[in-house]
Structure 1
Amino acid sequence: MTAMSDLAETRPSTMPQPLKRGDLRDALVGYARAETDAGRIACMSLRAAARDLGVSSGAVYRHFDDKDALLKAVAHQGFQEMRAEFIAIRPEGCAASSAALAAARAFSMGRAFVRFAHGNPALWRMMFGRIGLLCQADHRAEVGDMRYTILDCTQENIRDLYRLGAIPEPPTVEDTRFMWAAIHGAADLTQCRLQAGDCCLHEIADQTTDRSLRALGCDRAVIGDGRALADTVS
């Protein structure tokens, strides 16, 4: 009896639930997201999804041609969630009113990226791995997704720093790529080697952002003020 109870606790989310007409696609994405978060994505299949959701395999294949197609939908969901976090920090058309605010936004973006990766490790690896590459064509086709991307948030914030006199030269695409690569690497290291608690993750993100801003020539006083300001809103 105890063994059966333990088994039930390890797979709580796959009991069939009645689905309303038109809800199956969302249910499949939710199922795959739960399997991803639980670390079971390698053994997930569309047939298993159909079984656990209480529908026919044919019904599942009407929405997704194969497992990769379903995982692409999950990765897209992850990108949308991360994009929402970045847009909340630096909304489109909402330039920073001070250099300190622009620097604070840079720190907040770094923290958000590392926090998202740490909180969603399997999803994050999917987004920036093979499945994420498969999503690129779909992203380009979605005008809304491409209008103001995560990279755009980063790039526009760096431009704010230049416009406000905090960095000496107009930022380039390479500058944006450098800053993005640095925080991406920090997020990856926290998963691969650095087993850190939330406080340490926060510090790792800030150290990376600090060095990236210094590499762009950002005034040290502005960096310090920005980090302090970020602490009041993060």
Structure 2
Amino acid sequence: MSLASPPAQARSRPTAYHHGDLRRALLDAALAQPDLESLSLRQLAAATGVSPAAVYRHFDGREALLLALASIGFERLHRRFVEAFDIERPPVDGAEARTRLQRLGQAYLAFAEEEPALWRLVFGTQAEGYRAAAVAAGRPSTFDYLPATLLGLHRTGVVAQPPTSDDILFAWSAIHGAAALRQGRIGLAQQTTSGLVEAFAVRIVAALGAKG
């Protein structure tokens, strides 16, 4: 005698999670989505196999979820920068200062290419509030590292003047623009990341007034 299939209600019963595990599971499920900016809590509930009410016990709205995801994004980008170089130690010479600029660019482009949904969330057009909240919480952004990197170019004699706010904005625009163009497969998709970053670093240094 064959066993009967379980009732539909039993088959669709929400997955059971411990309280702390559910929050982690929700964030993991969200991070697996290709478009975080349009993700709804109901979609997340369906992806995780729990009820919408269970999601709301951890995130009181969509903005709370996106802020939590943005915080993860900033932390992951921070780890990439930490691995690139020690910001607390000044560069010993011009060669190291130039290398740091390249490593910063490589870390940023790698983040954009390997975690595009997070990159779009934390640096997208609607992400200013997430960035402000992350900075207020003490989480670093590109602007913690870029000024120090450009200042290192000046202190080691690579460029004549210390960086101004316009210099920082120019360098940031170049690095971020390269990431955006590669995301859109516009013109730069065929270049390797290292080759692209090296070319941009040379032009940034030249624009800042390289000596000699």
2:72 matched to 1:72? no
**Distance across 1 between alignment mates of 2:158 and 2:188:** 34
The counterpart of 1:213, out of the listed 197, 200, 205, is 205
Equivalences for residues 144-223 of structure 1 within 5 A: 145-146=139-140, 149-192=141-184, 193-194=186-187, 196-197=189-190, 200-219=192-211
Instruction: With the length of structure 2 as denominator, give the TM-score of the two structures.
Output: 0.82
Identity of aligned residues (%): 35
**Distance across 2 between alignment mates of 1:130 and 1:28:** 24
Structure 1 residue ranges without an equivalent (≥5): 1-15, 221-234
Q: Which amino acid aligns with 1:59?
A: A
The aligned counterpart of 1:88 is: 83
The runs of 4+ residues in structure 1 deviating greater than 4 Å are none
Q: Which amino acid aligns with 1:29?
A: L
Larger relative contact order, structure 1 or 2 (CA cutoff 8 Å, min sep 6): 1
The aligned counterpart of 1:12 is: none
Structure 2 residue ranges without an equivalent (≥5): 1-13
Superimposed CA distance per residue, residues 23-53 of structure 1 (whole angstroms, 9 cap, x where no aligned partner): 22222111111013xx5864x4312322332
Q: Which amino acid aligns with 1:128?
A: F
Superimposed CA distance per residue, residues 106-138 of structure 1 (whole angstroms, 9 cap, x where no aligned partner): 011112212221222232222211452221332
The counterpart of 1:26, out of the listed 3, 24, 27, is 24
Equivalences for residues 105-116 of structure 1 within 5 A: 105-116=100-111
Contact 2:98–2:201 at 8 Å: present in 1 too? no
The SS at the match of 2:68 is helix
The SS at the match of 1:35 is coil
